[in-house]
Amino acid sequence: MSGKRRLGVGLIGTGFMGKAHALGFTIASRVFDLPFELDLVSVADVTAESAEAARARLGFRKATADWRELLTDPDIDIIDITTPNLLHKEMALAAIAHGKHVYCEKPLAPTVADCAEMVAAAEKAGLVTQVGFNYLKNPLIFLAKEFIDSGEIGEIRSFRGVHAEDFMADATIPWAWRLDPRSGGALADLGSHIIACMRHLVGPIKSVLAETVIHIPERPVSRGAAGTRAVEVDDVARAFVRFENGASGSFEASWIATGRKMQHDFEIYGSKGSIVFTQERLNEIKVYSTGGDIKSRGFRTIWAGPEHPPYGAFCVAPGHQIGFNDLKAIEVHEFLQAIAKGGRPTTDFREGYEVQKVLSATHRSARSNEWVEIG
């Protein structure tokens, strides 16, 4: 026995992100000296059969088709929500009412008002929250933040970012929950990640000028069906942004970017240098500096290694690389440290609320074709 306090986890949702979260907890318990002994208590899914299959596959002790059973389980301290974002608010508020810490996938909720209610409930209850912006947990993103904060690349002048994938590029993919008008489309699903990245690295966003585009106006009601249903959410969103610190920039979100599987990219330009990153090569980052001999100037590539914490917790050798699920483990580690110390993770519900404010303003700008203040 380790002598550490046990901390129980209840997971709601067992799809792609549910599995990623479960692996995040498992990996974190193996590579970090966690402040708790983790106990994967119970998993909930839409049917008893799918929940039981996930229980056996992911290493939980119990399974249920009723997520509310997790709320009253005395062995559970954390409710982990990986369901469609339309369900986040109800589940999170119920978990908070039962005194559970909450780990929730992004986007936090469909509206700013929903997010504000969730923030208020969690902060009033004194509970720790985390939103799944795991791309920010890359050791090389920590390094980029260090370069920016230290002034190494000077005054930040501009940011250009994109989050593009192609999982909706096929027009025969049927209508599903992502296409519900309340879900927010590609902007909410993928744009939330690049907005979180902008805020994390450059700072608060002051205003946006945006457009949203529907390229596939209808989709089959089900796989192979002849009937179709209208699509009301964006396939692509683009926006110019102005930051509160005077910098400017742009971002794009697309789920029909044919051939792109994981393009979470950014370029940051400062008065003394720049930083370039692509998630498709997440173990390297490119940095340019105006200093030194002009004949030898150029972008230098920095490879992730144990000198970039917490890479060394996963591997003692540079260049061997970490992956997506490892970023989830780093996210879990930060969450558990905040619970142990009574602090706030960098991407808690309040940050999810701030991201939602930008998403909402972007939607309003696309409708009005005018600059919109975040407010």
Tell me which CATH code domain 5-132 carries.
3.40.50.720
Question: Which amino acid, 14?
Answer: T
Quick one: tokens of 278? 């692509």
The pLDDT score that the predictor gives to residue 231 is 97
CATH class of this structure's domain 135-320+346-373: alpha beta
Average pLDDT, 10 consecutive residues per value, the chain (375 residues)? 87 96 98 97 97 97 98 98 96 98 97 98 98 98 98 98 98 94 92 98 98 98 93 98 98 98 98 97 97 84 97 96 97 98 95 98 98 95
The pLDDT score that the predictor gives to residue 2 is 66
Q: Where are the domains of the chain?
A: 5-132, 135-320+346-373
3-state secondary structure 279-325: HHHCCEEEEEECCCCHHHCCCEEEECCCCCCCHHHHCCCCCCCCCHH
pLDDT tens-digit readout, 10-43: 999 999 999 999 999 999 999 999 999 999 999 9
Q: How many CA atoms lie within 13 A of 149 on its CB side?
A: 9
Within the chain, what is the greatest distance between any pair of CA atoms?
A: 67
The 8-class DSSP code of residue 179 comes to G
Contacts of 235 (CB under 8 A, 6+ apart): 168, 185, 186, 213, 214, 215, 216, 254, 255, 256
Q: How many CA atoms lie within 13 A of 159 on its CB side?
A: 32
Name which of 5, 192, 169, 36 is nearest 106 in CA terms.
192
Cα 43 from Cα 64, distance rounded (Å): 6
Q: E strands within the chain? A: 5-12, 36-44, 62-64, 78-81, 101-104, 129-131, 156-164, 205-213, 218-220, 228-230, 236-243, 248-254, 263-270, 273-278, 284-289, 300-303, 372-373
Cα 55 from Cα 14, distance rounded (Å): 9
From residue 301, give the alpha-carbon distance in Å to each of 112, 278, 283, 327.
Answer: 39, 12, 10, 21
- Residues of 201-230 as b/e, b for ≥16 C-beta within 10 angstroms? bbbebbbbbbebeeeeeebbeeeeeeeeee
Rounded to the nearest 10°, the torsion over CA 155, 265, 309, 245 is 30
Tell me whether domains 5-132 and 135-320+346-373 share a fold: no
Q: Give this prediction's pTM.
A: 0.96
Query: Strand, coil or helix: what is 246?
Result: coil
Quick one: tokens of 337? 């440290």
pLDDT tens-digit readout, 66-95: 999 999 999 999 999 999 999 999 999 999
Cα 300 from Cα 278, distance rounded (Å): 14
The pLDDT score that the predictor gives to residue 183 is 84
The pLDDT score that the predictor gives to residue 23 is 98
Q: Beta partners for 220?
A: 228
